[in-house]
Amino acid sequence: MRSAGILARQVRYENLSFWRNPPAAFFTIVFPLMFLVIFNLIFGDSTVELPGGTAGISTFYVPGIIALSVIGACYTNVAMGVAFSREQGLLKRTRGTPLPTWALLGGKVLHAVAIGVVLVVVVAAAGVLFYDVAVPTRTLPAFVLTLIIGSATFSALGLAVTAAVPNADAAPAIVNASILPLLFVSDVFIPLDDAPTWLTTFADIFPVRHFSLALQASFNPFERGAGLEPAHLGVMAVWMVASLLVATRFFRWESRR
Amino acid sequence: MDGAQVGGRADPAIVVRGLRKSYGDVEAVRGIDLNVPRGEIFAILGPNGAGKTTTVEILEGHLARSGGEVSVLGFDPGNHERSFRERIGIVLQSASVDPYLSVGETIELFRGYYPDPLPRETVLELVGLSAQRGTLVRRLSGGQQRRLDVAIGLAGDPELLFLDEPTTGFDPSARRGAWEMIRGLRSLGKTVVLTTHYMEEAEYLADRVAILVKGAIVAEGSVEELVRRGAHTTIHFRVEGPSPPGHLAAEPAGDGGAYVITTVEATAALHRLTGWALEEGVELQELTVAAPSLEDVFLSLAGSSGRNGGP
């Protein structure tokens, strides 16, 4: 109970700080929406092959951009946030206080997840209102589970990648280069219907495609079951555990010069 | 480890024996001993790169040591125990806080980490930031940010406060202000360990000073002791006409009849000098008698060690 209180307090202060920078907060929230609008403008008339039938392209883009939202909020923001806090000595300063490490990092991660949830709601609402996409109802439990495992996996990855980030100057390059190419080959920005098999095989090594496909199942109008994708969730869980091990083993409190 | 059990107020705050720290082949700290009683303001004085920060970061628990015994408030800082961190305050050389929180919120955030923190208003008053409690951290001046650093260090009401170069980069008036603030901590009965490369800072603030040069302590004691031990009074004067005779041991200092006498027996030297001047009927112009300063001691020690220890 006391642990939950410590964590809640950290999240509260992270949140206080987040909203004190309105331009940053605004663009964080609008960023995925812009992708949703742009991709629908470009590919609006095309269709996508889903398990069970053919659907309009927005049925592909709503779960795709939901994946982007969670990855951006958790992976990118956690990695950048930790890299910058480390550079500024904030991590080292806090390490000298009685606050446990898990609470410091847990606070950052939980706040990132909360922002991710806001983005998911915004994107899903836009999908329903403007793109005629049905809200998952029967698949809602599977959708929520996928989001939980997805946020956990990409937050853990975000923490793990900071081990490879020597300092804040290198953070944007490393964090973006490690995720952007994957977004293109993982059914997030573009459907991989016509892609060569080796490319999808390659993409399947990483958690991004498993996440977007699992989300797709929740929005698939031809889905007759619960939309649960244990195989995809399993791969993500493996990445989560591996990332946590790397993060715990190689975490650094100070930037390298 | 003897002599440093938890709880006993009479035990020293810090006991260090034979502390060493190497980075690869480079020995940053080469076997130092320290003994800091409770309630003392203790300064580690040394030039840049002497190993000051390495030493305090080992005492704080931020760095692992390569060898030696360290006891801080009865704890081994290397174990990084929570109960240890509850009892110390650390002001790092450079560390920021969340720029989008206000001063008051920042203090509140850190106070919450400690079991028995100081009241927020007390902390703000101690560092002179009461008027800035609602100001966002990003809008503070450099000097105010440093005060906030100290405020965060004090938030948990620590028994022992580490200050790593508290005034580096300050202008003289801001430095004065910071010194008054640190002096004020003495009345709270806290033990303070500060590092500095400013002689005046150590002289003004510290009960005792350890001079650290190239990872070794070359002198330690109260400022008065150090000054008495090593240095000399200097007597400057100018005469027109006769040269001072040899027994006065006056060295020419520049042109135009300026001389300097360097002595450990100022009274006798001055007596001889003025006696001679009266006999000769000459006026000693621009006569000054300068007490030895810590700077003289520091420079002589740093210089000689540099010659011995240099490659």
A125-180 per-position pLDDT tens digit:
999 999 988 877 889 999 999 999 999 999 999 999 999 999 999 999 999 999 99
| A88 contacts on B by Cβ (under 8 Å) | 95-96
Residue B229: pLDDT over 90: no
Is residue A256 situated within a structural domain? no
Say if residue B43 is in the same domain as residue B148.
yes
B193: in domain: yes
B220 inside domain: yes
* Cα B153 from chain centroid (whole Å): 17
Q: What is the pLDDT of residues A230-253, one digit of tens each?
A: 999 999 999 999 999 999 999 888
Is residue A255 in a domain?
no
Q: Which range, of A135-149, A196-210, B256-270, averages the lowest pLDDT? A: B256-270
B304 pLDDT higher than 70: no
CATH number at residue B55: 3.40.50.300
- Co-location of B140 and B51 in the same domain: yes
What pLDDT is stored for residue A176 in this prediction? Answer: 94
- Clarify whether residues B23 and B69 are in a common domain: yes
Same domain membership, residue B197 and residue B279:
no
Q: With beta carbons less than 8 A apart as the criterion, state whether A100 and B113 touch.
A: no
Average pLDDT, rounded, for chain A: 92
> Rounded to 5 degrees, what are φ and ψ at B251?
-100, 140
Question: Is residue B285 a contact partner of residue B239, using CB atoms and an 8 Å limit?
Answer: yes
Using CB atoms, pick whichever of B90, B96, B115 lies closest to residue A90.
B96
Q: Which residue among B189, B212, B228 closes a domain? A: B228
Look at B101 and A13 and tell me if their CB atoms are within 8 Å. Answer: yes
Same domain, B139 and B253: no
- Residue finishing a domain among B202, B228, B254: B228
Residue in B closest to A253 by C-alpha: B62
pLDDT at residue B178 above 50? yes
Q: How many domains does chain B have?
A: 2
A88 vs B: CB within 8 A: yes
Contact of A92 with chain B, judged by CB distance below 8 Å, is answered with: yes
Whether B101 sits inside 8 A of A17 (CB atoms) is yes
Is residue B204, in this structure, part of any structural domain at all? yes
Of B176, B198, B228, the residue at which a domain comes to its end is: B228
CB contact under 8 A, B90 and A93: yes
Residue A257: what pLDDT?
66
Confidence of residue B303 (pLDDT cuts 50, 70, 90): low
Query: What is the rounded average pLDDT of the residues B34-49?
Result: 91
Q: Which residues in chain A have Cβ-Cβ distances shorter than 8 Å to B156? A: 97-98
Mean pLDDT over all residues of chain B? 86
Distance from CA of B252 to the nearest CA of A (A): 50
Nearest CA distance, A94 vs chain B (angstrom):
9
pLDDT in tens, A105-130: 999 999 999 999 999 999 999 999 99
Is there a contact between A97 and B92 if contact means CB atoms under 8 Å apart?
no
pLDDT over 90 (residue B111): yes
- A16 min Cα distance to partner chain B (Å): 7
Do B236 and B223 share a structural domain? Answer: no
- pLDDT beyond 70 at A220: yes
Pairs of CB atoms within 8 A across A/B: 58
B222, B256: one domain = no
Residue A257 domain-assigned? no
- Which runs of E-coded beta strand occur in B139-201? 160-164, 191-196
Residue B105 and residue B40 share a domain: yes
Burial of B29 (0-12, 13-18, 19+ CB in 10 A): buried
Chain B contact present for A89, CB below 8 A:
yes
> What Rg do the C-alpha atoms of chain B give, in angstroms?
24
Judgement on whether residues B184 and B284 belong to the same structural domain of the protein: no
| Range B36-57 average pLDDT | 91
Residue with the two structure tokens 């009892």: B87
Q: Which residues does chain B have within 8 Å of residue A97's beta carbon, measured at their own beta carbons?
A: 85, 90, 110, 113-114, 156
Same domain, B143 and B272: no
The DSSP bridge partners found for residue B235 are B261, B289
Neighbouring CB atoms inside 10 A of B303's CB total 11
Which residues in chain B touch residue A92, judged by CB atoms under 8 angstroms apart?
Answer: 62, 92, 95
Check B105 against A90: CB less than 8 A apart: no
The answer as to whether B9 is a domain residue is no
Q: How many structural domains comprise chain A? A: 1
Q: CA triplet B258, B260, B265: central angle to 5 degrees?
A: 150
Q: What is the pLDDT of residue B307?
A: 37
Structure tokens that stand for B235 in this block: 């007597």
Q: Identify whether residues B161 and B283 lie together within a single domain.
A: no
Domain coverage including residue A202: 2-250
CA closest to B81 among chain A residues = A98
- Cβ pair B202, B223 in contact under 8 A: yes
With an 8 Å Cβ cutoff, are A93 and B152 in contact? yes
Residue B230, pLDDT score:
63
**Residue B260: domain span:** 232-291
pLDDT value at position B298? 72
Q: State the pLDDT at residue B166.
A: 87
State the average pLDDT over residues B263-290.
88
Q: Compare CB distances from A96 to B60, B94, B97 and report the shortest one's residue.
A: B60
Closest residue to B98, CB basis, from A9, A17, A97:
A17
A98 interfacial to chain B (CB closer than 8 Å): yes
Asked whether residue B306 carries a pLDDT value surpassing 60, the answer given is: no
B219 and B265 in a single domain? The answer is no
